[in-house]
Amino acid sequence: MTPTLQIFLIVSAALFSIGLLAALGRRHAIFILIGIEMMLAAANLNFIAFWRFGQHPQPPTGVMIALFAIAIAAAEAAVGLALVIAVYRHYRTTNVDQLDRLKG
């Protein structure tokens, strides 16, 4: 059996759902960031799989988009973790349920 595109897409969907589970289910701010990173990695896997199984334009578009997405994810992680540290300094907690000062 040779692997088809479907297998990669299903693995990617599973990875995305697990990332969503981590982002929505946990109450720790760092877990939410980890979940978002995992969802971005799943999207990159989709880009690479579609590039590999599709027609081939001269600039390899899927690979380029995956590279740019990795760079943006790195910037997002840096800013997000800085925000976590700043919030921890103010409130002495990283539990997102306790950060409810703006709640009406």
| Residues 39-98, interacting with other proteins (CB under 8 A) | 41-42, 44-45, 48-49, 51-53, 56, 59-60, 63-64, 66-68, 70-79, 81-86, 88, 92-95, 97
20 binding other proteins? (CB under 8 A): yes
CB of 39 to other proteins, least distance (A): 10
Beta carbon nearer to other proteins, 80 or 102: 80
CB of 49 to other proteins, least distance (A): 6
The DSSP call for residue 96 is T
Beta carbon nearer to other proteins, 90 or 102: 90
Please give the distance of CA 104 from its chain centroid, rounded to a whole number: 30
36 binding other proteins? (CB under 8 A): no
Copy the structure tokens of residue 39: 């969802």
- 67: number of Cβ within 10 Å: 13
SS3 state of residue 95: strand
Q: State the helix-helix crossing angle for 29-53 and 61-91, rounded to 10 degrees.
A: 180
Q: Give the interface size with other proteins as a residue count (CB under 8 A).
A: 73
CB of 47 to other proteins, least distance (A): 9
Check: CB of residue 69 under 8 Å from CB of residue 40: yes
